[in-house]
Amino acid sequence: MIDFTKAPVHGRVEGIKRALLMLDQVKGQSNSEGVFIIETGTTRGELGGGPESDGWATPLFGWYASINGGKVWTVDIEEAAINQCKEITKDFSSHIEYFVGDSSEILAKADRPIDLLYLDSANDPVIALNELKACEKNISDQTIIYIDDTSLYKKRPGGVCKGVLVYQYLYEKGWDLVFDNGDQIILTKSKGATPGFFGKFLTSLKTQRIYKRVIRKGAL
């Protein structure tokens, strides 16, 4: 059980807590080196508007890794953002690796099974899908996929829905949507059969409709 009363400052409470509670149930099943968490789009401090606006997931991930053992990779294309994150997460820096650069190129370098993948970089659904595919070889049936600024059932402000193509891609491979609060989604590998043609067809129609709305509203 996770005692969140001892956690550092963080935002987006419902989704982050749900993802970590799920991780806490499966940790250690995929490897013996402690948890491995990757996030794209780092905690940006003042550049991101603070915990409620930016989410501040990195300090919470670092805190969790410091307690349970393991490593967090945090990736951002802006060096200034990574520098802010380093200051915010200095208490947990021994459990965090900081990367500046193209997220897909960096994720492709992951060399062990990923326990939790948090996608929160660009608002472009194509970039999110490319990030997923870049590290797909290290995604196991126990991996938890957590995506910000996404909902399959609610229209989001400004049309942002960065995880819609990831959802379609994973659904067709037998993954389930287990959490959707209108702002974030969580996907896990289904224990049942992969969807048939009709299920894939309906999901494709739904996700393409959402994606077209993203394009139309200029939410990239």
Residues 131, 75, 21: CA angle, nearest 5 degrees? 80
pLDDT digits (tens, 9 = 90+) for 102-145: 999 999 999 999 999 999 998 899 999 999 999 999 999 999 99
pLDDT the model gives residue 10: 75
List residues bridging with 187 in a β-sheet. Answer: 145, 177
Coil, helix or strand for 116? strand
With H, G, I as helix, E, B as strand and everything else as coil, classify residue 191: coil
Q: What is the pLDDT of residue 53?
A: 57
Mean pLDDT over residues 85-100, rounded? 96
What is residue 168's predicted lDDT score, i.e. its pLDDT? 94
Q: What is the mean pLDDT of residues 157-161?
A: 73
Average pLDDT over residues 37-57: 74
The whole-angstrom separation of Cα 95 and Cα 93 is 5
pLDDT (average), residues 10-38: 81
Q: What is the pLDDT of residue 200?
A: 74
Composition of the chain by helix, strand, coil, percent to 5: 45, 20, 35
Better-scored residue on pLDDT, 122 or 193: 122
- What's the mean pLDDT in 188-203? 75
Question: Could you tell me the pTM of the whole model?
Answer: 0.89
